[in-house]
């Protein structure tokens, strides 16, 4: 072979010629350029050129200018994330709708019944809802709760932080459909409805290929560090938990799951290449494995060498670059910074010693923790895998990939021209918070299946249901054949805050059954809108379980008054005026009873009936005298008389102006206008009401 011919040609030289040779060319092909040139140094020669100190090492590793500014209002980090670090979402919403439209889809009934549509043709970005769901996954790391069920709750939680209320951004059924279909958006359609236990790695490999392609256009790699990352996955019911295979690495913090061999660009710490470790058979089918090498004897490429070659090629390592991993080559020039060795002397004191070491060793030990720090920020700080628990292994792998992209965006910051103080304080949590900022502006969900706004409100019609009786009927039973049907009605729960009058309604909330109006009742919001947006456990939707619709007194806004007023609870607890009870009928008062002689006792002509006596005793003195007199005044009484009659008729009557206090029957109302309490004015409506109350004959 050509390789052996080159070796034999060099060995055919004399011993003196071999000692004086300055170079050696190892050919691996018939062409002129298909050869590797080796420089041979004499015993007294050293490498004096420091490859680590070249000008290329001081350049920015990014090929493109990525927006970044300390003023976060000048940069849309959500746009930066999806444009430069995440695979393209173009056409993915239409693919998800197609996946949901097949009866074989596990979410087919949900998508059909709820009219779920992700692709919005009329929007500026038709795939906006896919982008919204991925953003919600990132923002979920900022919340205390985890899982769809908890993150879509509203109202106060058991601790300091309230529930996340992600339902304000998108309905839970939409997000559940996204979670089910997200792993299939990059794979071939032949895998869509395959048994989940039989799915191969080809389901998610196209996603990682696009990630690697994005990094190739983004990074100019000169220094490359190799390591691996783990996507934690602990099967409970099967050997691999639905994945084709899982890996076990006991030295890793997350020791069981999907292993990803990755390479990080050393200057920025951004992942340059990701490669999933598959089963043994598929690993041996990868490029360079067991291929014939260019060594003189033509040995096969070993597995670890093939892995290194794939990482260098996939990351786009530039010619003359440096790769650190299982083995490395480089200069022996001493670095200016010595290695500080620490040791304990015989007296127990810690001493240090400076040791000279080559530049290549200094660079390697400086960059070795890069991928470990990347994994720590993703697994322990961002912790998307813990935020979104799942039973689908491929969704877990993609969740890990999303976390890697977020950490890559955050690591881009320290390699820009901004100040070090800003870059140091730009941690991963703050990065996730800025990515989610778009949810408060343009990244919103619109319910296209809802009816257009009308005079009765703009709330979706499926939020309402008719009130029924215990038999499920919306009408009350007829007492007579000719009676008209009457709807089953209840008092509107929201309206009870504002008035003590009965506000009946035929409708209720379809989710929790609260009786509600769909009209505003003169307020800014309809009763249903106020119900759905409220975080109060008594007023909100599904915030508490209840057996009856009783409204607490502290929520009754119509009974709230100034500080000088008695509370509604105190007023209700005031002792009632003692009134004589009507005489009870004897149980023995029956016709033919010997005790009563069989004759009913009749009331004497001068006695008043018990009910009339009770009514008279309940009246105030002024009212009783006015109504028992047969003389009705033809002219209005003086204002003082009007006020006294008004107080007697309604002890809670309020003046038009000035402070007030609630009193019992018969007491005078005093205000701050004068010492005697008669300095306040009464409105014409109040005076007219007082006149009508006083002048009514008995």
Report the distance separating Cα 97 and Cα 184, nearest Å.
Answer: 12
pLDDT tops 50 at residue 685: no
Which residues are CB-neighbours of 266 under 8 A, at least 6 positions away?
A: 222, 223, 224, 225, 324, 363, 367, 370
pLDDT tops 80 at residue 528: yes
Report the distance separating Cα 23 and Cα 661, nearest Å.
Answer: 107
Report the distance separating Cα 274 and Cα 407, nearest Å.
Answer: 14
Taking only the tens place, the pLDDT of each residue in 417-465 is 445 555 555 788 999 999 999 999 898 887 665 444 333 334 454 677 8
Mean pLDDT of the residues in the chain: 76
Residue 94 dihedral angles phi and psi, to the nearest 5°? -65, -35
Which of 393-397, 510-514, 651-655, 691-695: highest mean pLDDT?
Answer: 393-397
Which residues are CB-neighbours of 496 under 8 A, at least 6 positions away?
A: 503, 551, 556
Return the higher-pLDDT residue of 682 and 118. 118
The pLDDT score that the predictor gives to residue 204 is 96
The residue assigned the tokens 């420091």 is 50
pLDDT tops 70 at residue 540: yes
Q: Are strands 475-476 and 35-39 parallel, antiparallel or unpaired?
A: unpaired
Assign 329 a pLDDT band (cuts: 50, 70, 90): very low
Report the distance separating Cα 76 and Cα 70, nearest Å.
Answer: 12
Instruction: For residue 4, give the 3-state DSSP assignment.
Output: helix
Residue 258 dihedral angles phi and psi, to the nearest 5°? -90, 120
Instruction: For residue 454, give the 3-state DSSP assignment.
Output: strand
Report the distance separating Cα 443 and Cα 449, nearest Å.
Answer: 19
| CB environment 568-592: b (16+ within 10 A), e (fewer) | beeeeeeeeeeeeeeeeeeeeeeee
The pLDDT score that the predictor gives to residue 91 is 94
Single out the residue of 177, 207, 200 nearest to residue 102, CA to CA.
Answer: 177
The pLDDT score that the predictor gives to residue 675 is 39
Residue 285 CA to chain centroid, in angstroms? 41
Assign 543 a pLDDT band (cuts: 50, 70, 90): low
Least confident of 142-156, 344-358, 398-412, 564-578: 564-578
The pLDDT score that the predictor gives to residue 619 is 47
**Residue 85 region by backbone torsions, left for phi larger than 0, else alpha for psi between -120 and 50, else beta:** alpha
The pLDDT score that the predictor gives to residue 102 is 95
Report the distance separating Cα 365 and Cα 357, nearest Å.
Answer: 11
Question: What is the sign of the dihedral through the CA atoms of 234, 236, 240 and 242?
Answer: negative
* Secondary element (H or E) of residue 360: helix 359-367
Taking only the tens place, the pLDDT of each residue in 59-97 is 778 888 888 877 788 889 999 999 999 999 999 999 999
Report the distance separating Cα 279 and Cα 287, nearest Å.
Answer: 15
pLDDT tops 80 at residue 297: no
Return the higher-pLDDT residue of 442 and 557. 442
Return the higher-pLDDT residue of 668 and 553. 553
DSSP 531-545: HHH---TTTSSSSS-
Per residue, the 3-state secondary structure of 556-572, as one string, reads: CHHHCCCCCCCCHHHHH
Report the distance separating Cα 294 and Cα 619, nearest Å.
Answer: 115
For residue 341, what are the β-bridge partners?
353
526 in Cβ contact with 492 (< 8 Å): no
The pLDDT score that the predictor gives to residue 359 is 64
The residue assigned the tokens 């506000």 is 503
pLDDT tops 50 at residue 573: no
Report the distance separating Cα 417 and Cα 97, nearest Å.
Answer: 43
Instruction: For residue 485, give the 3-state DSSP assignment.
Output: coil
Taking only the tens place, the pLDDT of each residue in 613-656 is 444 444 444 444 444 444 444 444 444 444 444 444 444 444 44
* Secondary element (H or E) of residue 215: helix 205-218
Return the higher-pLDDT residue of 60 and 513. 513
Q: Are strands 322-324 and 223-232 parallel, antiparallel or unpaired?
A: parallel
Taking only the tens place, the pLDDT of each residue in 89-144 is 999 999 999 999 999 999 999 999 888 999 999 889 999 999 999 999 999 999 99
Return the higher-pLDDT residue of 336 and 134. 134
Per residue, the 3-state secondary structure of 48-81, as one string, reads: CCCHHHCHHHHCCCECCCCCCCCCHHHCCHHHHH
Which of 8-22, 25-39, 468-482: highest mean pLDDT?
Answer: 8-22
Assign 363 a pLDDT band (cuts: 50, 70, 90): low
336 in Cβ contact with 359 (< 8 Å): no
* Secondary element (H or E) of residue 317: none
Q: What is the dihedral of CA 565, 571, 574, 580, to 10 degrees?
A: 120
The pLDDT score that the predictor gives to residue 653 is 42
For residue 669, what are the β-bridge partners?
none
Segments making up each domain of the chain, as ranges: 2-45, 197-418, 451-560, 610-694
Return the higher-pLDDT residue of 498 and 98. 98
Residue 232: how many CA atoms within 13 Å on its side-chain side?
Answer: 19
Residue 4 CA to chain centroid, in angstroms? 64
pLDDT tops 60 at residue 151: yes
684 in Cβ contact with 692 (< 8 Å): no
The predicted model scores a pTM of 0.60
183 in Cβ contact with 204 (< 8 Å): yes
pLDDT tops 70 at residue 498: yes
pLDDT tops 70 at residue 172: yes
pLDDT tops 70 at residue 383: yes
Q: What number is the average pLDDT over the span 205-221?
A: 94
pLDDT tops 70 at residue 170: yes
Assign 556 a pLDDT band (cuts: 50, 70, 90): confident
Assign 566 a pLDDT band (cuts: 50, 70, 90): very low
Report the distance separating Cα 86 and Cα 96, nearest Å.
Answer: 18
The pLDDT score that the predictor gives to residue 53 is 56
* Secondary element (H or E) of residue 508: strand 507-509
Per residue, the 3-state secondary structure of 106-118, as one string, reads: CCHHHHHHCCCCC
Which residues are CB-neighbours of 681 under 8 A, at least 6 positions away?
A: 655, 656, 657
Single out the residue of 410, 388, 409 nearest to residue 398, CA to CA.
Answer: 388
Report the distance separating Cα 397 and Cα 402, nearest Å.
Answer: 9
Q: What number is the average pLDDT over the span 39-53?
A: 70
Least confident of 236-240, 279-283, 448-452, 530-534: 448-452
> What is the tally of helices (H) and strands (E) in the chain?
23, 15
Taking only the tens place, the pLDDT of each residue in 455-497 is 333 445 467 788 888 777 888 888 887 888 888 999 998 888 8
Q: What number is the average pLDDT over the span 267-273?
A: 90
Q: What number is the average pLDDT over the span 204-209?
A: 96
Assign 310 a pLDDT band (cuts: 50, 70, 90): very high
Report the distance separating Cα 107 and Cα 99, nearest Å.
Answer: 9
pLDDT tops 50 at residue 692: no
């Amino acid at each position: 072979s050509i390789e052996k011919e080159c070796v034999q040609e060099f060995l055919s030289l004399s011993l003196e010629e071999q000692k004086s040779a300055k170079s050696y060319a190892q050919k691996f092909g018939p062409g002129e350029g298909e050869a590797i040139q080796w420089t041979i140094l004499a015993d007294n020669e050293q490498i004096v050129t420091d490859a680590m100190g070249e000008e290329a090492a001081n350049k920015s590793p990014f090929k493109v200018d990525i927006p970044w500014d300390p003023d976060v209002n000048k940069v849309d980090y959500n746009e930066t994330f999806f444009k430069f670090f995440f695979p393209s979402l173009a056409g993915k919403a239409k693919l998800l709708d197609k996946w949901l439209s097949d009866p074989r889809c596990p979410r087919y009934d949900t998508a059909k019944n709820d009219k779920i549509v992700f692709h919005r043709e009329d929007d500026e970005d038709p795939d906006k809802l896919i982008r919204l769901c991925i953003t919600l996954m990132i923002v979920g790391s900022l919340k205390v709760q985890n899982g769809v069920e908890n993150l879509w709750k509203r109202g106060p939680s058991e601790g300091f932080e309230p529930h996340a209320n992600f339902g304000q951004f998108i309905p839970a059924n939409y997000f559940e459909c996204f979670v089910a279909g997200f792993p299939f958006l990059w794979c071939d359609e032949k895998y869509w409805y395959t048994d989940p236990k039989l799915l191969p790695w080809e389901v998610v490999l196209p996603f990682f290929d696009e990630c690697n392609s994005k990094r190739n256009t983004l990074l100019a790699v000169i220094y490359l560090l190799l390591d691996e990352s783990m996507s934690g996955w602990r099967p409970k019911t099967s050997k691999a938990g639905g994945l084709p295979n899982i890996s076990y690495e006991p030295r890793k913090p997350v020791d069981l799951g999907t292993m990803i061999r990755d390479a990080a660009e050393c200057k920025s710490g951004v992942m340059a290449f990701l490669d999933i470790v598959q089963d043994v058979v598929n690993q041996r089918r990868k490029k360079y494995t067991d291929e014939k090498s260019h060594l003189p004897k033509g040995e096969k490429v070993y597995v670890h060498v093939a892995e290194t070659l794939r990482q260098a090629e996939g990351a786009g390592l530039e010619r003359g670059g440096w790769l650190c991993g299982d083995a490395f080559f480089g200069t022996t020039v001493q670095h200016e910074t010595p290695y500080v060795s620490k040791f304990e002397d015989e007296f127990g004191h810690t001493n240090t010693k400076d040791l000279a070491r080559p530049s290549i060793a200094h660079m390697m030990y400086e960059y070795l923790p890069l991928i470990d720090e990347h994994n720590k920020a993703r697994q322990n700080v961002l912790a998307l895998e813990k935020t979104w628990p799942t039973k689908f292994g491929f969704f877990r792998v993609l969740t890990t990939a999303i976390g890697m992209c977020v950490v890559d965006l955050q690591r881009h910051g320290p390699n820009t021209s901004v100040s070090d103080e800003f870059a140091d304080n730009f941690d991963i949590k703050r990065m996730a918070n800025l990515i989610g900022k778009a949810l408060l502006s343009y990244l919103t969900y619109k319910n296209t299946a809802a009816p257009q706004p009308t005079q009765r409100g703009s709330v979706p019609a499926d939020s309402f249901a008719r009130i029924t009786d215990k038999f499920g009927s919306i009408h009350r039973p007829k007492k007579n054949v000719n009676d008209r049907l009457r709807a089953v009605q209840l008092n509107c729960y929201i309206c009870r805050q504002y008035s003590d009058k009965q506000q009946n309604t035929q409708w209720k909330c379809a989710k929790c059954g609260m009786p509600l109006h769909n009209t505003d009742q003169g307020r800014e919001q309809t009763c249903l809108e106020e119900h759905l947006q409220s975080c109060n456990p008594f007023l909100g939707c599904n915030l508490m379980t209840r057996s009856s619709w009783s409204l607490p007194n502290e929520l009754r806004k119509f009974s709230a008054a100034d500080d000088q007023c008695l509370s509604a609870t105190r007023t209700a607890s005031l002792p009632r005026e003692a009134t004589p009870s009507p005489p009870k009928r004897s149980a023995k008062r029956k016709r033919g009873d010997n005790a009563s002689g069989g004759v009913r006792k009749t009331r004497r002509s001068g006695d008043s009936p018990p009910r009339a006596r009770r009514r008279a005793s309940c009246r105030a003195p002024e009212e009783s005298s006015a109504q028992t007199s047969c003389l009705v005044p033809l002219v209005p009484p003086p204002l003082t008389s009007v006020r006294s009659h008004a107080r007697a008729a309604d002890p809670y009557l309020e003046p038009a102006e000035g402070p007030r206090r609630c009193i019992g029957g018969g007491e005078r109302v005093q205000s701050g206008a004068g010492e005697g309490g008669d300095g306040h004015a009464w409105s014409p409506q109040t005076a007219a009401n007082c006149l009508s109350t006083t002048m009514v004959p008995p």
